[in-house]
Amino acid sequence: MTLVILGALAFSIVLPISGQAAEVYDVITKVAVFVLFFGYGARLSGQEVLAGIRHWRLHIVILLCTFVIFPLLGAPLLLLPDGFVSEPVLIGLVFLCLVPSTVQSSINMTSLAGGNIPAAMISATTSNVLGVVLTPLLVMLMLPTSGSGFSWQIALDVFVQLLLPFILGQISRIVTAKFMARNKARLKLLDQLVIVLIVYGAFSGMFATGMWRQLGLTDLLVTLGFTLPLLALMLWFTWKFASWMKFDRKDKIAVMFCGTKKSLVTGVPIAAVMFPAATVGMIVVPLMVYHQAQILVSSMLAARLAASAPNED
């Protein structure tokens, strides 16, 4: 998936879409986002959610890390002096802190490291479901440039493009559950295609309008200087927090991998809904940098935890 996303990014540089074609593509993207979140709703079993509620302390810790600790760490960025970093990148750095956790990566890394897989599955899924509401709400509260505070139009867009299709997907499980279960691999490919469409559209807007020229060396250094230490800090914090909560090793692994992840799959569509099309490309740059870093670091960390498992209590 990472290579495919990078391919879409490269294609947007070579052949960006603009003009009337961009307007048509924007409509296609909105339809694709609707389909994406409908699929999320159709695949999420109500029974799976109910079965995981019992481990409520673990879920609360992960949700606190995702929707409280991360936003608190991002909030001081809003105090940076004007002109220190370009506005879209600044918005993107804060937006990164407001995005929900990943699902697939959280579960995969937890599994590889020998953690609590069912808990990771429920927590990561719950984070994504709540993120459909909480992330846009946090954006409207913390980033006035996205709509000068709370906007009913933005709220309506979020509901129509994100929450409504998810609800419809849940309702459709009456007739689609078996189909979804039989076609997981094909549906995964469809998800990836939708994300590629969104990434291409987002970065096309950036390159077609020349906004990429605003991404200076300072923007890049600030992005790297914030995202990489942020990942390291949260990996340390989640493990220590879980230890303080007296969770066992399997639960600590689930907390660490679910509580530090940020979803490109969910974050990019939300950004496409919340922000002007021409700025989305730059806004999601910090999220993409963090996303690539978390995959690399988490893979190595999970392998190390798996190797050390027999020697741990």
User: pLDDT band for position 103 (50/70/90)?
Assistant: confident
Residue with tokens 């339809």: 31
pLDDT of residue 197: 81
Q: In terms of pLDDT, which residue wins out, 3 or 168?
A: 168
The reported pLDDT for the residue numbered 235 is 97
In one-letter notation, the amino acid at residue 166 is F
Kindly report which listed range (172-181, 205-214, 237-246) carries the lowest average pLDDT score. 205-214
Provide mean pLDDT across the span 43-65.
77
Q: Per-residue pLDDT for 148 more than 50?
A: no
Residue 16 placed within a domain: no
311 inside domain: no
- Using one digit for the tens of pLDDT, what is the confidence trace for 118-139? 788 888 888 887 888 899 889 9
312 within some domain: no
Position 22 pLDDT exceeds 90:
no
The mean per-residue pLDDT over the stretch 287-304 comes to 85
Residues near 81 by Cβ (< 8 Å), separated by ≥ 6? none
Write down the mean pLDDT value for the chain. Answer: 82
Residue 94 has pLDDT above 60, yes or no: yes
Residue 216 reports pLDDT greater than 50: yes
Determine, yes or no, domain membership for 310: no
Residue % of the chain over a pLDDT of 70: 87
What's the whole-number mean pLDDT along residues 169-188? 85
Range of weakest confidence among 59-68, 187-196, 218-227: 187-196
Rounded distance between C-alpha atoms, residue 278 and residue 288, angstroms:
17
- What pLDDT digit, counting tens, does each position of 24-37 carry? 888 888 888 788 77
- Check residues 46 and 32 and name the one with the higher pLDDT: 32
Within-domain flag for 309:
no
Distance separating alpha carbons of residues 96 and 98, to the nearest angstrom: 5
Q: What are phi and psi of 143, to 5 degrees?
A: -120, 85
The answer to the question of residue 69 being in a domain is yes
Q: What is the mean pLDDT of residues 245-261?
A: 94
Q: 146, 200, 172: which is closest to 4 by C-alpha?
A: 200
Whether 13 is in a domain gets the answer no
List the domain range (segments joined by +) for residue 169.
Answer: 2-8+21-304
Number of domains in the chain: 1
Give the torsion sign (CA, 33, 35, 36, 41): positive
Residue 298, pLDDT > 80, answer yes
Say yes or no to pLDDT of 154 above 70: no
- Over residues 200-225, the mean pLDDT reads 76
Within a domain: 98? yes
Residue 57: give its domain's CATH number.
1.20.1530.20
Asked if residues 294 and 231 have their Cβ atoms less than 8 Å apart, the reply is: yes
Per DSSP, the residues of the chain read -HHHHHHHHHHHHHS---HHHHHHHHHHHHHHHHHHHHHHHHH--HHHHHHHTT-HHHHHHHHHIIIIIHHHHHGGGGGSPTTSS-HHHHHHHHHHTTSPPPSHHHHHHHHHHT--HHHHHHHHHHHHHHHHHHHHHHHHHH-GGGTSS--HHHHHHHIIIIIHHHHHHHHHHHHHHHHHHHTHHHHHHHHHHHHHHHHHHHHHHHHHTTGGGG--HHHHHHHHHHHHHHHHHHHHHHHHHHHHTT--HHHHHHHHHHHH---HHHHHHHHHHHS-HHHHHHHTHHHHHHHHHHHHHHHHHHHHHHHHGGG--
By mean pLDDT, which of 5-19, 72-86, 166-180 is the weakest?
5-19
